[in-house]
Chains A and B, each alone.
Chain A
């Protein structure tokens, strides 16, 4: 194992405060202690990680792995590299960093917490509205490296803004170990649009966690896109801890070749009068495989909650395979919960209709896929991200 104390001392500790160093060390201990997930763990039964050895990628990239862009930021807004911010804004970061994304969760969250490389810290003070979207771009340039960015977002009371995390590989066939995780804290009445766009190389191993905590009357619109990675595991989890909070969790994925995507979602309604609306839509072709497992949990006392969960899979080839496990745990009766899942091929009637209009089969199929994604693309919270995603999707549909 090359993920040891040495690279921690060497590479990452430079300039980082003591509390963060201690936290990284603790996470490393956790990593060493936890076993590799096996097929007997419910979450990993259909997800085979046995072929992944982090030690094969225990080298960090030398070049700057991320840039952030935000123009005309109002006074008080902090937008910095996370390691730099950890030093300058300890009071804001120390109590929150890795409090939603707990290193004890499994071996991979522990590894990410111990070795995260850069990432973004965004703090928007109470009452501040930012019109222009803020973007964080995370790059990988080299083969066989680890790129492990982490995003921490704190939205003050009644703040309003949009943020985009973009994960970009320079070469599309780079093997490597990649993560892309975000912790999002929404203060009372905050309204946040968050988009994650994962475009790592086709040979990368990706582990991402997007976790949000919503206080009273806050609203989150989260949109997650998965396109890259030979293996990609993404967890999207929202905890609704304040009355009146609303989480909209939408995602699209397009898996082709031999890609394997795993999605794990949680809508955790801890208090009443909360709403969550989840829709994960994916298209699969070639021999790609996807697994979706999602849970709506309504805690006791979370009355008048409203939760919706759906997973739709469009299977474009005979050899692509989709698994869907939408789960509910409801501990309160005064709720409305609905969920649904579908797995199916292109409707031959739709195809026939288009072809009878003289459209070639390939084009017709592409139109059907675009139509399939159409309703969820409309939910992307801001224009800039929508243009990007539509362009990426277009180029992949070919």
Chain B
């Protein structure tokens, strides 16, 4: 067995991931949230009138909606003390060489260029609120695939943009979707034309890098009939002393016979509030797959959902949550069956350690008419010590005919028998526990591209080494 270099999480993390370069912004909006700030953001971006109106209307909705009373405690968020827009450089870079040195330094540490050299088709890496580095493989544009940042898409593809933006998650959907629609900036826009298969995963790195800075990216993916795309979103963030808020909205439309996979590895630093709305519409015989890993943040509330709109649609959520000290991962998935003969599965794996709390929260809804549909939910939780906590809140509503619905969940600790077996083979306790945890989340890691799977195993290793001893 290969030996793994020891990394002391507590002290080294700051050097490894938790650096931050001095702030040097071209434009920095004032703190706080009011119509003037929203107008300023829209003006800076030279947006069309309809977007400004939508932003202002969303701000109104945000003001009116109450904070959610369920899930994690969000009362500590101070919306008036957040920067809603930052722009790190004034023009989009087209090649790596043109990037400002500060930003390059950040990406060097994240390994973006190496990743690109390996197999990236296009990188749309977000530094703060604006996409600054962006490249698109020639082959993709030849096929007619659009992969750009959302701001450019609004400028360059106005018809396509207007047709779909806000149709999956309207501003009034929930308080944080309203906030995002009011102040959104950056994110990815993908359009895959009919019958086109994008064989290489498209990826984007996200970072937050200013104290108290909000990140409100907006992603919109449209898979036209018979197409396929795999989008990967991953993030690491520097450590700060005050709380920051990340509130993204991801909208996906999967048309007839198309398939979309959306993979997330979320590793925000443990002071970030990560409140994200992700939803996909799956049409006839389409498949939508969410692969969702939550390792970082102080609080995550995120329930990727699939609305199964037409017969034969299929939805999948594969979710992994890891909560360490002071963390609360409130994650899960939602499957809304609207049409007959639709199927869905949710698999959730959660690990709590050092006083962390993981909650699975899910909803299976079968509307009248969604007859002959099937849904299966499986949740497994692993508690690594007696200070940690795990909850399961599955809501199963069946209003359709002849449907089959199943839910199973288990909560346990690391099995003494497994530990004993491994230790009797000369493996130390902490190594054995790490192996068991990695085995526990294997159904998740095996769905990831190799590079990410290695990174995830490594992250779990770091988290585990921090505690056991």
A residues bordering B, Cβ < 8 Å? 42, 46, 300-301, 303, 315, 318-319, 321-345
Q: Does B318 contact A (CB under 8 A)?
A: no
Interface flags for B361-400 (1: CB within 8 Å of A; 0: not) read: 0000000000100000000010111101111111111110
CB distance from A339 to the nearest CB of B (A): 5
Q: Closest residue to B376 on the A side, CB-wise?
A: A342
**A300-B386, A343-B405 given; A325·B394 CB < 8 A:** yes
Instruction: Verify A337–B411 contact, CB threshold 8 A.
Output: yes
A–B complex contacts, Cβ < 8 Å, 15 sampled: A318-B371, A318-B401, A321-B399, A325-B394, A326-B394, A326-B407, A331-B389, A333-B383, A335-B412, A338-B409, A339-B407, A339-B408, A339-B409, A343-B404, A345-B402
Instruction: Verify A330–B381 contact, CB threshold 8 A.
Output: yes
Q: Does B100 contact A (CB under 8 A)?
A: no
Partner of A333, one of B385, B393, B399, B405: B385
Provide the residues of chain B in CB contact with A301, threshold 8 Å.
Answer: 386
Provide the residues of chain A in CB contact with B409, threshold 8 Å.
Answer: 326, 328, 337-340
| A-B interface contact total, Cβ < 8 Å | 104
CB distance from B184 to the nearest CB of A (A): 30
Provide the residues of chain B in CB contact with A322, threshold 8 Å.
Answer: 398
Partner of B407, one of A42, A318, A342: A342
Instruction: Verify B391–A329 contact, CB threshold 8 A.
Output: yes
Q: Which 7 A/B pairs are nearest by Cβ-Cβ distance?
A: A333-B383, A318-B401, A328-B392, A337-B411, A341-B407, A344-B404, A343-B405
Provide the residues of chain B in CB contact with A329, threshold 8 Å.
Answer: 389, 391
Instruction: Verify B391–A333 contact, CB threshold 8 A.
Output: no
Q: Does B453 contact A (CB under 8 A)?
A: no
Provide the residues of chain A in CB contact with B396, threshold 8 Å.
Answer: 323-325, 341, 343
Interface on chain A toward B: helix, strand, loop, or mixed SS?
strand
Partner of B412, one of A46, A300, A318, A336: A336
Partner of A342, one of B388, B389, B406: B406
Distance A329 CA – B405 CA, assembled complex (angstroms): 22
Given contacts A341-B394, A343-B398, 6 further A-B contacts (CB under 8 A): A323-B397, A326-B409, A333-B383, A333-B385, A337-B409, A338-B410
Partner of A323, one of B371, B384, B389, B398: B398
Provide the residues of chain A in CB contact with B388, threshold 8 Å.
Answer: 333
Q: Closest residue to A318 on the B side, CB-wise?
A: B401
Provide the residues of chain A in CB contact with B408, threshold 8 Å.
Answer: 338-340
**A300-B386, A321-B399, A333-B386 given; A339·B405 CB < 8 A:** no
CB distance from A311 to the nearest CB of B (A): 9
Instruction: Verify A325–B389 contact, CB threshold 8 A.
Output: no
Distance A315 CA – B396 CA, assembled complex (angstroms): 14
Provide the residues of chain B in CB contact with A339, threshold 8 Å.
Answer: 392, 407-410
Partner of A340, one of B389, B398, B403, B406: B406
Provide the residues of chain B in CB contact with A315, threshold 8 Å.
Answer: 398, 402
Q: Closest residue to B384 on the A side, CB-wise?
A: A333
CB distance from B247 to the nearest CB of A (A): 24
Instruction: Verify B391–A328 contact, CB threshold 8 A.
Output: yes
Instruction: Verify A335–B413 contact, CB threshold 8 A.
Output: yes
**A340-B406, A340-B408, A344-B405 given; A333·B413 CB < 8 A:** yes
Distance A328 CA – B394 CA, assembled complex (angstroms): 9
Distance A338 CA – B378 CA, assembled complex (angstroms): 11
Instruction: Verify B391–A332 contact, CB threshold 8 A.
Output: no
Distance A332 CA – B413 CA, assembled complex (angstroms): 9
Instruction: Verify A330–B413 contact, CB threshold 8 A.
Output: no
CB distance from B136 to the nearest CB of A (A): 46
**A46-B397, A335-B411 given; A345·B386 CB < 8 A:** no
Provide the residues of chain A in CB contact with B371, threshold 8 Å.
Answer: 318
Provide the residues of chain B in CB contact with A327, threshold 8 Å.
Answer: 391-394
CB distance from B151 to the nearest CB of A (A): 39
Instruction: Verify B413–A334 contact, CB threshold 8 A.
Output: yes
Provide the residues of chain A in CB contact with B384, threshold 8 Å.
Answer: 333
Distance A338 CA – B407 CA, assembled complex (angstroms): 11
Q: Closest residue to A325 on the B side, CB-wise?
A: B395
Distance A161 CA – B264 CA, assembled complex (angstroms): 57
Q: Closest residue to A324 on the B side, CB-wise?
A: B396
Provide the residues of chain B in CB contact with A336, threshold 8 Å.
Answer: 410-412
Distance A323 CA – B401 CA, assembled complex (angstroms): 13
Provide the residues of chain B in CB contact with A335, threshold 8 Å.
Answer: 383, 411-413
Distance A342 CA – B413 CA, assembled complex (angstroms): 25
CB distance from B72 to the nearest CB of A (A): 14
Provide the residues of chain A in CB contact with B401, threshold 8 Å.
Answer: 318-319
Distance A333 CA – B405 CA, assembled complex (angstroms): 29
Distance A162 CA – B408 CA, assembled complex (angstroms): 33
Distance A234 CA – B394 CA, assembled complex (angstroms): 20
Provide the residues of chain A in CB contact with B407, threshold 8 Å.
Answer: 324, 326, 339-342
Instruction: Verify A343–B392 contact, CB threshold 8 A.
Output: no
Distance A327 CA – B410 CA, assembled complex (angstroms): 11
CB distance from B300 to the nearest CB of A (A): 18
CB distance from A333 to the nearest CB of B (A): 3
Instruction: Verify B404–A345 contact, CB threshold 8 A.
Output: yes
CB distance from A296 to the nearest CB of B (A): 9
